[in-house]
């Protein structure tokens, strides 16, 4: 079995049905998609690529993304999709680390040839057209058999610290992820459509799998990115759409709804389901999103090492406002997804009693096979079948997981643990605060003290004094920031995650 069989199956079932859209224009039916992917698979094989060889995908969101992924799987190859915002030097580092043979690249991302590739194909060139030319009979091109533990995708971690690591994601991991979507995230029918706003090299692209399993439509915006007005327009034409979005993108959609006064009904016509995850969603933000866009949110927590599958907070749970622990629940990341077990453990991996805070461990069929050519990192991350996520959190009696922070982001002041997230949640409820990130700074007396970087809403007059009073009114004194830095924006990585490491560096140079 291979992921490529999913495409063959749809081509059998619904060959004529529209599968891929570029903007609002049909781009390929399921039959055409299969014929092009089979054509490329054949040519990759003829060119000497062997099952298990790596192929780099360094392109903007593009309808060809889907054809390339499935062509590679058809030929038994391993895809290495990387973020289009990477610098060519970073891409070359990955080419070298992954020992990728061929690369499909958007020309503007790498104007010069990337060192290390045997062949680099501009995805918008005639050469790429020729490689993807459809075969007359896709069913005549055999799919290379793959075992469940064979690699399908090398996912380079976003690397908020240090060099990215290649996460080895297997066929089994992706099949599990795809099927789990239907149980824990959302029902999907062939009438549904998913839109790729966030990078297809990451979670958004992975969700092509459940949508292909269901024979749904796949929509790639012409802008290739997140333009709220474009996404709503596409939604009203082709939707309602489903999408995966990091919390910063959700915020952008909700801001747009407010700015141009889109009603809840109109939002419902554009979006069926918005799956959010990848970074903390603050309570104030999800409440506002639910208020302005209605019941169309589902949260997932996962990481490259267990792609899209660790916990989920369902649509129903997000709506159950009458529940006595509703606020705790919407601040949580939900309960274990069906194919995994969760455990909270101490540093030695020993299970901690219920309610205690420790490292989050995950076990199940979504968990990676290890890090590519990095046995040391693999041995640290995978122990006795458990994935050590590096996230810190606690479970309640009903199985809801609340994430505190990455262990490295924890602040220890006067021997007490301070979770930046808690301080951030509170500051976000202060009038005039748009965004906030809290980090620790070294303190000779206390070990560390709390510093808040704050972005003010347009026109808001904020002061350290005002925010201090806001904190004092609701939070233990020792947790409150001793210093506020007002900034115009927060540094974020290519996936929209706040780079706390960069903030700590900036702070160090300011304090020096």
Pairing between β-strand 358-364 and β-strand 386-395 as defined by DSSP bridges? antiparallel
Residues 209-219 as b/e (b if ≥16 CB within 10 A, e otherwise) read bbbbbbbbbbb
Q: Decide: 332 and 326 in contact? Cβ < 8 Å.
A: no
Minimum CB distance to ligand AMP smaller for 49 or for 308: 308
Q: Decide: 233 and 222 in contact? Cβ < 8 Å.
A: no
Out of 185, 403, 437, 452, the only residue in the binding site for ligand AMP (CB under 6 A) is 403
Q: Decide: 385 and 345 in contact? Cβ < 8 Å.
A: no
Q: How far is the CB of 245 from ligand AMP (least distance, A)?
A: 11
Out of 266, 268, 279, 485, the only residue in the binding site for ligand AMP (CB under 6 A) is 279
Out of 171, 303, 332, 366, the only residue in the binding site for ligand AMP (CB under 6 A) is 303
9 near ligand AMP, rule: CB under 6 A? no
Minimum CB distance to ligand AMP smaller for 158 or for 242: 158
- Distance, in Å, from the CA atom of 381 to the CA atom of 365, rounded to the nearest integer, reads 15
370 near ligand AMP, rule: CB under 6 A? no
What length is written for the chain?
512
Minimum CB distance to ligand AMP smaller for 280 or for 358: 280
Out of 391, 409, 425, 435, the only residue in the binding site for ligand AMP (CB under 6 A) is 391
Nearest to 369 by CA among 105, 159, 150: 150
Q: Decide: 41 and 135 in contact? Cβ < 8 Å.
A: no
- Distance, in Å, from the CA atom of 455 to the CA atom of 106, rounded to the nearest integer, reads 34
438 near ligand AMP, rule: CB under 6 A? no
Which part of the chain contacts ligand AMP (CB under 6 A), choosing from 62-70, 296-304, 422-430, 463-471?
296-304
Kindly write out the interface string for residues 144-183 of this chain, putting x where it contacts ligand AMP by CB under 6 A and - elsewhere. Answer: -------------xx-------------------------
Q: What are the φ/ψ torsions at residue 457 (nearest 5 degrees)?
A: -70, 155
299 near ligand AMP, rule: CB under 6 A? yes
Which part of the chain contacts ligand AMP (CB under 6 A), choosing from 72-80, 112-120, 276-284, 466-474?
276-284
Minimum CB distance to ligand AMP smaller for 450 or for 498: 498
Packing angle of the helix pair 30-46, 63-74 (nearest 10 deg):
50
- Distance, in Å, from the CA atom of 453 to the CA atom of 329, rounded to the nearest integer, reads 27
Q: Which residues within the stretch 304-323 sit at the binding site for ligand AMP (CB under 6 A)?
A: 304
Q: How far is the CB of 394 from ligand AMP (least distance, A)?
A: 14
Minimum CB distance to ligand AMP smaller for 64 or for 500: 500
- Distance, in Å, from the CA atom of 155 to the CA atom of 152, rounded to the nearest integer, reads 10
Q: How far is the CB of 307 from ligand AMP (least distance, A)?
A: 8
Minimum CB distance to ligand AMP smaller for 366 or for 389: 389
Minimum CB distance to ligand AMP smaller for 270 or for 333: 333
Q: Decide: 126 and 402 in contact? Cβ < 8 Å.
A: no
Q: Which residues within the stretch 322-341 sit at the binding site for ligand AMP (CB under 6 A)?
A: 333
DSSP state of 376: H
406 near ligand AMP, rule: CB under 6 A? yes
3-class secondary structure, 88: helix
Q: How far is the CB of 362 from ligand AMP (least distance, A)?
A: 10
Q: How far is the CB of 39 from ligand AMP (least distance, A)?
A: 33
3-class secondary structure, 421: helix
* Residue entry with tokens 């960069």: 502
The site for ligand AMP, by CB under 6 A, has a size of 15
Q: Decide: 48 and 127 in contact? Cβ < 8 Å.
A: no
Out of 116, 280, 364, 393, the only residue in the binding site for ligand AMP (CB under 6 A) is 280
Minimum CB distance to ligand AMP smaller for 91 or for 403: 403
Angle (CA) 114 64 163, round 5°: 40
Minimum CB distance to ligand AMP smaller for 203 or for 215: 203
DSSP state of 274: E
DSSP state of 259: H
Q: How far is the CB of 49 from ligand AMP (least distance, A)?
A: 28
Which part of the chain contacts ligand AMP (CB under 6 A), choosing from 6-14, 134-142, 171-179, 271-279?
271-279
Pairing between β-strand 335-336 and β-strand 306-313 as defined by DSSP bridges? antiparallel
Q: How far is the CB of 199 from ligand AMP (least distance, A)?
A: 11
Nearest to 104 by CA among 137, 70, 135: 70
Residues within the interface to ligand AMP (CB under 6 A): 157-158, 277-280, 299, 301, 303-304, 333, 389, 391, 403, 406
């Amino acid at each position: 079995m291979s992921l490529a069989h999913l495409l063959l199956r749809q081509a059998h079932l619904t060959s004529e049905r529209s599968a891929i859209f570029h903007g609002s224009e049909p781009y390929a039916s399921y039959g055409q998609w299969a014929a092009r992917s089979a054509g490329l698979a054949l040519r990759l094989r003829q060119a000497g690529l062997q099952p298990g060889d790596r192929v780099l995908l360094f392109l903007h969101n593009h309808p060809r993304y889907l054809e390339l992924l499935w062509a590679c799987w058809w030929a038994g190859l391993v895809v290495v999709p990387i973020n289009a915002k990477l610098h060519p030097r970073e891409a070359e580092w990955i080419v070298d680390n992954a020992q990728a043979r061929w690369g499909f690249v958007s020309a503007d991302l790498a104007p010069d040839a990337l060192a290390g590739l045997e062949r680099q194909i501009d995805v918008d060139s005639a050469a790429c057209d020729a490689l993807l030319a459809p075969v007359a009979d896709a069913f005549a091109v055999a799919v290379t058999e793959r075992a469940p533990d064979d690699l399908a995708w090398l996912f380079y971690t976003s690397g908020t610290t240090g060099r990215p690591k290649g996460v080895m994601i297997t066929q089994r991991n992706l099949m599990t992820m795809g099927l789990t979507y239907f149980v824990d995230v959302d029902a999907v029918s062939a009438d549904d459509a998913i839109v790729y706003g966030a990078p297809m090299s990451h979670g958004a692209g992975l969700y092509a799998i459940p949508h292909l399993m269901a024979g749904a439509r796949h929509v790639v915006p012409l802008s290739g990115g997140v333009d709220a007005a474009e996404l709503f327009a596409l939604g009203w034409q082709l939707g309602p759409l489903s999408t995966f979005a990091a919390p910063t993108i959700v915020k952008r959609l909700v801001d747009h709804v407010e700015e141009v006064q889109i009603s809840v009904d109109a939002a419902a016509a554009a979006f069926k389901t918005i799956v959010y995850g990848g970074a903390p969603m603050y309570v104030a933000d999800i409440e506002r999103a639910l208020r302005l866009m209605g019941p169309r949110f589902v949260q997932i927590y996962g990481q490259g090492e267990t792609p899209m599958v660790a916990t989920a907070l369902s649509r129903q749970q997000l709506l159950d406002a009458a529940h006595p622990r509703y606020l705790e629940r919407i601040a949580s990341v939900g309960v274990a997804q069906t194919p995994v077990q969760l455990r909270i453990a101490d540093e030695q991996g020993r299970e901690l009693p219920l309610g205690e805070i420790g490292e989050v461990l995950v076990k199940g069929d979504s968990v990676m096979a290890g890090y590519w050519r990095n046995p040391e990192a693999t041995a640290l991350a995978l122990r006795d079948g458990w994935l050590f996520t590096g996230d810190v959190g606690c479970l309640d009696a009903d199985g809801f997981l609340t994430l505190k922070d990455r262990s490295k982001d924890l602040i220890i002041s006067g021997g007490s643990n301070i979770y930046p997230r808690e301080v951030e949640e509170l500051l976000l409820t202060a009038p005039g605060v748009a965004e906030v990130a809290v980090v620790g700074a070294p303190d000779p007396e206390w070990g560390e003290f709390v510093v808040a970087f704050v972005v003010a809403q347009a026109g808001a007059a904020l002061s350290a004094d005002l925010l201090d009073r806001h904190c004092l009114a609701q939070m233990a004194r020792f947790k409150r920031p001793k210093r506020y830095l007002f900034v115009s924006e927060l540094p974020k990585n290519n996936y929209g995650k706040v780079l706390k490491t960069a903030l700590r560096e900036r702070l160090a140079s300011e304090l020096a």
